[in-house]
Amino acid sequence: MPAYTYRCKVCGEVFTRRYSFNEKPDVVVCPNGHTEVVRVFRPPVVVFKGSGFYITDHGNGGGRKNTPQKQKTESSPPQNKGSKQKAKAEAN
């Protein structure tokens, strides 16, 4: 059975009313007798059951591994081996 939550504009009362599937909610009256009510929308309750909802459950190897990444250190730009050999030849 669907349940709808309403809030009364006059007194501020929040209440829930259940309807059968055959019934249409035409006129809704709050428990204090007021007819000026608005429907309150609430997020649905979702429960994930079973496998496949976690990073470790998906795919072959699971998710990302928690290994620390190497940090790059600033150093001089790499030199070409050919330029080192030229520098040695010029020094001799």
- Report the amino acid identity of residue 13: E
Please check the confidence at residue 37 and state whether its pLDDT lies above 80. yes
pLDDT confidence of residue 42: 84
Please name each of the domains of the chain with its CATH number.
1-59 (2.20.28)
pTM of the full structure: 0.46
Bridge partners, residue 6, by sequence = 15, 39
pLDDT confidence of residue 79: 58
